[in-house]
Chains A and B, each alone.
Chain A
């Protein structure tokens, strides 16, 4: 009977938090919905890429590979600091965990700043959805830039949400609500951040490296 008693104690309303594995299952399922959300855009991309092969190549030449590569490295590094921050919490090293999490958020902001300049340059050249300049181009190029803005935009939105999420996690860390015994929130935030990274891992070659 003893095992059941443990079950009773953990399924009540107050003790839900303690279902550590359940919380992670829920997070993974949420990540799948994110994957399929971007998946819809990847579908659009693949269809139009197949249809307008050459136009996509022409349009992609105008994207700045260096900026893209720098952003890739920034995001990869932020994933490293994120993973290490979780490890630090698990080891009970709160200060290191906080430091690493702040670094992760800063990398996220750096990514956004970089993106801002990249988009800004394109806007200056009159290349944005619905602009006259873009309207005069080949159909495939219009679609390429439509996809570029939609996909990097949706990805950027996820980066913003990630940074906001980190500030909440940071607060919890500082208030010692996340600690060695209870760290599923920071771990789930990490899972989210890594997914955002994975999406970028695919976006980078598909937009910047198809010249």
Chain B
């Protein structure tokens, strides 16, 4: 299914293979990911019950990020996509993080 003879003509030029390359992911992989997500949901509820002070927020966000990562890399196929897709996502995430971070230069120092 791979048809990228065009690459020799100078990088990723704008003509596309008529048939496209794709990966079919086994149902079993998806099922494992789902189990992982369900377990992490349990963990986050459990951790929220333990008084850790401000670390509760951190723990909740870390677990949520792990879950989002599972969805992104498996359900959304990011693991199997070309480099392009993996380069695009950080652009959006870094932008959002910068915006929120910079705003706190105001609100944290009032």
Q: Give me the interface of A with B, judged by CB distance under 8 Å.
A: 2-4, 6-11, 18-22, 24-25, 28-29, 32, 35-36, 39, 42-43, 46-47, 50-51, 65, 69, 72-73, 76-77, 79-80, 82-84, 87, 90-91, 181, 190-191, 194-195, 197-198, 201-202, 204-206, 209-211
Chain B, Cβ-Cβ closest to A195: B76
Please tell me if the beta carbons of B14 and A205 are within 8 angstroms of each other in the complex. no
A28 CA / B48 CA spacing, docked (Å): 32
**Inside 8 A of B34's CB, which chain A residues have their CB?**
76-77, 79-80
**Inside 8 A of A190's CB, which chain B residues have their CB?**
75-76
CB distance from A185 to the nearest CB of B (A): 14
Within 8 Å by CB of A69, from B45, B68, B108, lies: B45
Interface residues of B in 1-58 (CB under 8 A from A): 5-6, 9, 13-20, 22, 24-27, 30-31, 33-34, 37-38, 41, 44-45, 48, 56-57
Q: Is the interface of B mostly helix, strand, loop or mixed?
A: helix
A91 CA / B44 CA spacing, docked (Å): 35
Please tell me if the beta carbons of B85 and A28 are within 8 angstroms of each other in the complex. yes
Please tell me if the beta carbons of B64 and A91 are within 8 angstroms of each other in the complex. no
Known: A90-B22, A91-B24, A191-B76. A3 touches B5 (CB 8 A): yes
A63 CA / B8 CA spacing, docked (Å): 59
Interface residues of B in 70-110 (CB under 8 A from A): 71-72, 74-76, 81-82, 84-85, 88-89, 91-93, 95-96, 99-100, 103-104, 107-108
CB distance from A22 to the nearest CB of B (A): 7
Please tell me if the beta carbons of B92 and A32 are within 8 angstroms of each other in the complex. yes
**Inside 8 A of A205's CB, which chain B residues have their CB?**
44, 48, 60-61, 63-64
Known: A3-B5, A69-B45, A198-B72. A83 touches B25 (CB 8 A): yes
A42 CA / B103 CA spacing, docked (Å): 12
**Inside 8 A of B61's CB, which chain A residues have their CB?**
202, 205
Given A73-B38, A90-B22, 8 new contacts (CB under 8 A) = A3-B5, A28-B89, A47-B107, A76-B37, A79-B71, A202-B64, A204-B41, A206-B60
**Inside 8 A of A77's CB, which chain B residues have their CB?**
34
Within 8 Å by CB of B16, from A10, A43, A65, A82, lies: A10
Q: Is the interface of A mostly helix, strand, loop or mixed?
A: helix
**Inside 8 A of B74's CB, which chain A residues have their CB?**
83
Within 8 Å by CB of B85, from A10, A22, A24, lies: A24
A90 CA / B5 CA spacing, docked (Å): 24
Please tell me if the beta carbons of A83 and B30 are within 8 angstroms of each other in the complex. yes
**Inside 8 A of A209's CB, which chain B residues have their CB?**
44-45, 48, 60
Chain A, Cβ-Cβ closest to B54: A53
**Inside 8 A of B107's CB, which chain A residues have their CB?**
47, 50-51
Please tell me if the beta carbons of A50 and B108 are within 8 angstroms of each other in the complex. yes
A69 CA / B5 CA spacing, docked (Å): 50
